[in-house]
Chains A and B, each alone.
Chain A
Amino acid sequence: MTDSQSSVLDRTAERLAAATPVPLARKVRGLSDKGLAWLFITPTMLLLLAINIFPLIWAIYLSFTNYRANRPNEIVKNVGLSNYQRILGDQDIWIAMQATAHFVFWTIALQTLIGFTLAYLIDRKFRGHAFWTTVILVPMMLSPAVVGNFWRFLYQPQIGLFAYAVSFFTGISPTEIEMLSNVHLAPWAIIIVDTWMWTPYVMLICLAGLRSIPDYIYEAAEVDRASHWRQLWSITLPMALPFIMLAVLFRGIENFKMFDMVNLLTGGGPGSTTEVASITLKREAFEKWRTGYSSAFAIILFVAVFGLANIYVKVLNRVKNR
């Protein structure tokens, strides 16, 4: 609809609204609105109830049993809270949580640092910045599974491009750069791929933050002869902070759930050095078939993520209200 049309509509609406007696207008506008609202919203709610809530309730039920999905005919026993108790005492689970924490911490630290720096540089608005921004954004749109799988090839000790590049710059023999089978390097192998994929995500949100800072604040700072560093610390960072925090929370939730890329790159190995929570969950549920036990772990993870989501919504609202 063009502007002239819409302004005609606006004017018509105003005139009619002024001319129409109020009760009649309300009647016309409010006609079966309530029914329509439910008609529009109910299908979505029903689908989410069927595909998300019903299975969740089922999982809660299973978490109190010793059910095993590969033995459907066995008698299911109610075991009370023992699954939960065992999880809290399970050494493997704690190792998995440590691996997850290491992964989440370093990916967020690197992505925030690199992402903000890139956004800051792009905001210098050099020639061609729009084009290069689009180029940088490409990795985050790709399938983490399909691309993660290909990184396995890049990480091959001798023939892989990554090992070759590292040995080219450091002089270390390319056969010794075993990114995926060395227990010290594997956790970094997944951090590198995740940082490669998701730095653009943090960058894009930071860029929106930087662009939301009005020019006049910098102008005032220039008048006061504040140095560039001073401007960065006192204006840019504090004003972009809500955006940075938003990016951190989104990445935190996503990486806490991380499965696809790690599953294809290392499968949790070597040993369990890269066994993040989702990988443990998959092993328990779909390899060991301890359905009841893994359901309990899933519920614990869900409660943890839900807690983060709550924080996220609170931060989101605070960002909005500023």
Chain B
Amino acid sequence: MSAAAHSVVEPGLTSKRVAGAIVILYAVITMVPLFWIFATSFKTPPDSIAYPPKILFEPSIEGYCNLFTTRTRQTAEYIASLPPATSFCDETTRKRNMVIAGQSNFLPRFVNSLIIAFGSTFCAVFLGTLAAYGFSRFKVPLADDLLFFILSTRMMPPIAVAIPIYLMYRELGLSDTALGMILLYTAVNVSLAVWLLKGFIDEIPREYEEAAMIDGYTRMGAFFKVVLPQATTGIAATAIFCLIFAWNEYAFAALLTSGTAQTAPPFIPTIIGEGGQDWPAVAAGTTIFLVPILVFTILLRKQLLRGITFGAVRK
């Protein structure tokens, strides 16, 4: 296309500037709640509930201290009798007439989130890659019906699935176990994995494998030596989407886990301090929880569209 022809539809400078200004304004407003989470995590509890809301404040890591510890109230005499505080957290806690009693449950819950998210992602991508290859390359009877069946499992409301799963897990002893959650998240994610990966594998020309097979590779060998290396980007993008789903999931986790296998999303809202929710600690937990997703979103931005539409829209 010639440059002159293109300039006909190229928007004018004013229209570009106005469009830019509106979009940037929207982006800034949309970031305010996230900025507020971040800012609140560095406030002291009194600062966090000040009126009017404090935009400028003296930063403190008290929220992070409270997130990782449990504290008990003590008398001033008892606190005075203690040896000098050894850490910043010790000191801030004592200023509030409390002492650190132990570790909070945040770290174990965060570790549960990591185990369950990575475990289920690995399983879903492993199964999904095999199934996607099967659907992409072989004539499977009723392939369209099976693919629709795989997708339709994603259409059920999570609570509707949770009722029988709750009963089934109770019978099998899988309630509140990491294994149970990994199985469940794998089943939910495998539908996304199959649909996305089928799209990616469809884009790899069949001739590559056929050539490899003529060169003496078996079908299996061609799959490992030719298809998998070509599909790396797609597999990585799919894995990140599965990881984000499992990381963010709340409904199943809230209903099916209560203690040992509880993940961070149902735990964070339960963080309470004295006299209600400890907002700086909640904000600190939220910040720590969100940062990995922010990183992944930036990594994924080119594949985002495909991932959120189950591969229905590709750029």
Report which A residues bind B (CB closer than 8 A). 1, 6, 9-10, 12-13, 16-17, 20, 25, 28-29, 31-34, 36-41, 43-45, 47-48, 50-52, 54-56, 58-59, 62, 69, 114, 118, 121-122, 124-129, 132, 134-147, 149-154, 156, 158-161, 164, 174, 196, 200-201, 204-205, 208, 211, 215, 218-219, 222-223, 243, 246, 250, 253, 256-257, 259-260, 263-264, 277-278, 281-282, 285-286, 291, 294-295, 298-299, 301-302, 305-306, 308-309, 313, 316, 319
- The answer to whether B247 and A143 touch across the interface, beta carbons within 8 angstroms, is yes
- What residues of A have a CB within 8 angstroms of the CB of B309 in the complex? 205, 246, 250
A137 interface neighbour in B134, B213, B304, Cβ under 8 Å? B304
Provide the main secondary structure of the chain B interface: helix
- The answer to whether B9 and A58 touch across the interface, beta carbons within 8 angstroms, is no
A67 to chain B, nearest CB (A): 9
Known: A10-B207, A134-B301, A146-B265. A48 touches B214 (CB 8 A): no
Q: How far is the CA of A31 from the CA of B213 in the complex (A)?
A: 10
Q: How far is the CA of A138 from the CA of B27 in the complex (A)?
A: 10
- 13 A-B pairs besides A259-B158, A308-B155 with CB distance below 8 A are A9-B211, A25-B214, A38-B134, A55-B164, A121-B22, A143-B289, A149-B269, A154-B33, A156-B49, A196-B33, A294-B163, A302-B156, A306-B152
Q: How far is the CA of A162 from the CA of B208 in the complex (A)?
A: 57
B297 interface neighbour in A39, A141, A295, Cβ under 8 Å? A141
The reply on B131 being an interface residue by CB < 8 A is yes
Interface residues of B in 113-171 (CB under 8 A from A): 127-128, 130-131, 133-135, 137-140, 146, 148-153, 155-168, 170
Q: How far is the CA of A319 from the CA of B313 in the complex (A)?
A: 10
A77 to chain B, nearest CB (A): 17
The reply on B80 being an interface residue by CB < 8 A is no
- The answer to whether A145 and B165 touch across the interface, beta carbons within 8 angstroms, is no
CB nearest neighbor in A for B13: A126
The reply on B32 being an interface residue by CB < 8 A is yes
Known: A51-B187, A146-B290, A260-B251. A59 touches B163 (CB 8 A): yes
- The answer to whether A142 and B9 touch across the interface, beta carbons within 8 angstroms, is no
- The answer to whether A138 and B157 touch across the interface, beta carbons within 8 angstroms, is no
- What residues of B have a CB within 8 angstroms of the CB of A277 in the complex? 157
- The answer to whether B134 and A45 touch across the interface, beta carbons within 8 angstroms, is no
B218 to chain A, nearest CB (A): 7
- The answer to whether A215 and B1 touch across the interface, beta carbons within 8 angstroms, is yes
A158 interface neighbour in B34, B51, B160, B294, Cβ under 8 Å? B51
- What residues of B have a CB within 8 angstroms of the CB of A222 in the complex? 8-9
The reply on B20 being an interface residue by CB < 8 A is yes
Q: Which one, B59-67, B68-76, B88-96, B279-287, is touching chain A?
A: B279-287
A199 to chain B, nearest CB (A): 8
14 A-B pairs within 8 Å (CB atoms) are namely: A1-B208, A13-B211, A44-B190, A51-B187, A158-B51, A215-B9, A257-B157, A278-B158, A281-B159, A291-B163, A299-B160, A302-B157, A302-B160, A313-B148
Known: A29-B210, A136-B26. A141 touches B296 (CB 8 A): yes
Q: How far is the CA of A240 from the CA of B264 in the complex (A)?
A: 39
Known: A25-B214, A58-B167. A159 touches B50 (CB 8 A): yes
- The answer to whether B286 and A145 touch across the interface, beta carbons within 8 angstroms, is no
CB nearest neighbor in B for A200: B30
- The answer to whether B305 and A204 touch across the interface, beta carbons within 8 angstroms, is yes
Q: How far is the CA of A50 from the CA of B183 in the complex (A)?
A: 10
B308 interface neighbour in A145, A204, A215, Cβ under 8 Å? A204
- What residues of A have a CB within 8 angstroms of the CB of B305 in the complex? 204-205, 208
CB nearest neighbor in B for A47: B187
- The answer to whether B156 and A305 touch across the interface, beta carbons within 8 angstroms, is yes
Q: How far is the CA of A301 from the CA of B207 in the complex (A)?
A: 45
- What residues of B have a CB within 8 angstroms of the CB of A316 in the complex? 312
- What residues of B have a CB within 8 angstroms of the CB of A118 in the complex? 23, 26
Known: A10-B207, A146-B286, A246-B309. A151 touches B33 (CB 8 A): yes
- What residues of B have a CB within 8 angstroms of the CB of A301 in the complex? 157, 160
- What residues of B have a CB within 8 angstroms of the CB of A313 in the complex? 148, 151
- The answer to whether B298 and A143 touch across the interface, beta carbons within 8 angstroms, is no
- What residues of B have a CB within 8 angstroms of the CB of A286 in the complex? 166, 255
B308 to chain A, nearest CB (A): 6
